[in-house]
Structure 1
Amino acid sequence: MCGRLSQYRGIHDFVATLSIPNTLINYAGDQPFELYNAAPPAQLALFHQEGQFLRADRVRWGWRPRWAMDHSALINARVDRVAHDPFFRAIWPHRAITAIDNWFEWIDEGGPKKQPYLIRRKDRAPILCAAIGQYPHAEHEPDEHDGFVFISADSKGGVVDIHDWQPVALNPELAREWLNPATSEKRAEQIMLLQWEPPEVFEWFKVDRAIGNLRNQQSGLINPSDR
């Protein structure tokens, strides 16, 4: 998974996709995020479950433990390692969902510059991405060390035409189970490893190379390119 994505809808669109009836504790705001070309360390909307409530915060994309401050913050954690990697030990129990609209990959097609592609769901629904992190909650005020990482997986064909790795995307039922504090770590690992959305759920197409410039944030960046 490349470090570029879109999160342009508002928090209530993402909540509707999750279909969690519990009261929302919303620190992410009610307006559309309008992030068409986001990269680390962008503040992205992140969901976690706090008791019986769903909570939404804006949290920095990228994290490192306090004992590794000389290490670059990581933005992804490999699905086959994260549960047992000492780097992520402190945040592995802190499961979250980041709902995004699409992500981007760059492919070498033999030209002078790599070609960017946009990947999204065919049904245009938000992509519910498994994540872990350090984030605000009832007993933890916002902290300069807060951050999160996406869990990424081998794309196993289909999306592999674009890139070998993709975010672990879950259907709403599994996303709710992933978020539920009552879900055991063993079951969470099973969901993460075996039950994510298959490649046929997604579609991809070329977009304009202007997406490569982070100063470009126009909504037209997510439209198909005929070049």
Structure 2
Amino acid sequence: MCGRLSQYSGIHDFVAALSMPNALINYAGNQPFELYNAAPSTQLALFHQEGQFLRADMVRWGWRPHWAKDRTAPINARVEKVAHGAFFKAIWPHRAIIVINNWFEWVDEGGPKKHPYLIRRKDRAPILCAAIGQYPNAEFGPSEYDGFVIITADSKGGMLDMHDRQPVTLSPELAREWLNPATPMERAEQMILLQGEPAEAFEWFKVDRAVGNVRNQQNGLINPISDSLL
């Protein structure tokens, strides 16, 4: 998964996609986020469950443990290793969902430069991505160490020939189970390893190269373009 995504809907659209009856603790605001070209280190709306409540916070995309100051904060975690490696050990129990509208990948089509594609659900519903992180809660407020990573899996060639990794996306039912603190960690690992949504749930198309510049944030970045415009 390349490091670019869109999160432009409002928090209540994302809550509706999760279909959670829990009361919402909302620290993310009520206005549409209008992030059409979000890059690593951007503050994004992240959901986690706090007791019986669903909580939304704005959290930085990217995290590293305090002892790993010699490297850039990763934005993704491989599903094959995340539950057992030392790097993410501290946040593996802290499950979250990052709800997005789409993400972008760059495809090598034989030209001088790779071309950006947008990937979204065929039904246009928000995408529920499995994540883990360090984030505010009732006991501890915001911290300079807060952040999250998106869990990724082998794309297995299912989405064009774009990238060897894609986000682990979950159905609303599985996303709710993933968020539930009572879900055993062994069951959580099984979900992300075996029950992510298939490539058939998604569609993809070319978009303007302007998405390559993170300073470009206009909503036209998510519109398809034809080969005649390249």
TM bracket, shorter-chain basis: over 0.9
Deviation at 1:160, TM superposition (A): 4.8
* 1:6 paired residue number: 6
* Distance across 2 between alignment mates of 1:176 and 1:160: 29
The one-letter amino acid of 2:164's match is D
* Distance across 1 between alignment mates of 2:208 and 2:43: 24
Deviation at 1:7, TM superposition (A): 0.3
The structure-2 alpha-carbon separation of the partners of 1:160 and 1:78, relative to structure 1 and needing over 3 Å to count, comes to farther
* Distance across 2 between alignment mates of 1:157 and 1:110: 18
* 2:17 paired residue number: 17
* 1:50 paired residue number: 50
* 2:149 paired residue number: 149
Give the conservation status (yes or no) of the 8 Å contact 1:101–1:127. Answer: yes
The one-letter amino acid of 2:202's match is F
* Distance across 1 between alignment mates of 2:103 and 2:173: 22
Mean CA deviation greater in 119-128 or 148-157: 148-157
Give the conservation status (yes or no) of the 8 Å contact 1:157–1:199. Answer: no
Indicate the SS of the match to 1:161. Answer: coil
* Aligned-residue RMSD, C-alpha: 0.7
Deviation at 1:161, TM superposition (A): 2.4
* Distance across 2 between alignment mates of 1:184 and 1:90: 16
How does the TM-score come out when normalised to structure 1? 0.99
The one-letter amino acid of 1:68's match is A
Indicate the SS of the match to 1:59. Answer: strand
The one-letter amino acid of 1:222's match is I
Mean CA deviation greater in 108-117 or 34-43: 108-117
The one-letter amino acid of 1:223's match is N
* 1:111 paired residue number: 111
* 1:26 paired residue number: 26
* 2:137 paired residue number: 137
* Distance across 2 between alignment mates of 1:48 and 1:160: 32
Q: Equivalent residues in 2 for 1:83-98 (5 A)? A: 83-98=83-98
Give the conservation status (yes or no) of the 8 Å contact 1:6–1:103. Answer: yes
Indicate the SS of the match to 1:151. Answer: strand
Give the conservation status (yes or no) of the 8 Å contact 1:98–1:128. Answer: yes
CA deviations over 1:196-217 (Å, ceiling 9, x no partner): 0000000000000011111110
CA deviations over 1:47-99 (Å, ceiling 9, x no partner): 00000000000000000001111221000000000000100000000000000
* 2:159 paired residue number: 159
Deviation at 1:156, TM superposition (A): 2.1
* 1:121 paired residue number: 121
Give the conservation status (yes or no) of the 8 Å contact 1:74–1:149. Answer: yes
* Distance across 1 between alignment mates of 2:7 and 2:77: 20
* Distance across 1 between alignment mates of 2:188 and 2:109: 38
Mean CA deviation greater in 81-90 or 65-74: 65-74
The one-letter amino acid of 2:56's match is A
Count, aligned residues:
227
* Distance across 2 between alignment mates of 1:142 and 1:198: 35
Which 5+ residue runs of structure 1 have no aligned equivalent? none
Mean CA deviation greater in 198-207 or 64-73: 64-73
How does the TM-score come out when normalised to structure 2? 0.97
* Distance across 1 between alignment mates of 2:122 and 2:92: 30
- Of all paired residues, the percent bearing the same amino acid is 78
CA deviations over 1:16-35 (Å, ceiling 9, x no partner): 00000111000000000000
* Distance across 2 between alignment mates of 1:203 and 1:117: 10
- The structure whose residues are more often helix, as a share, is 1
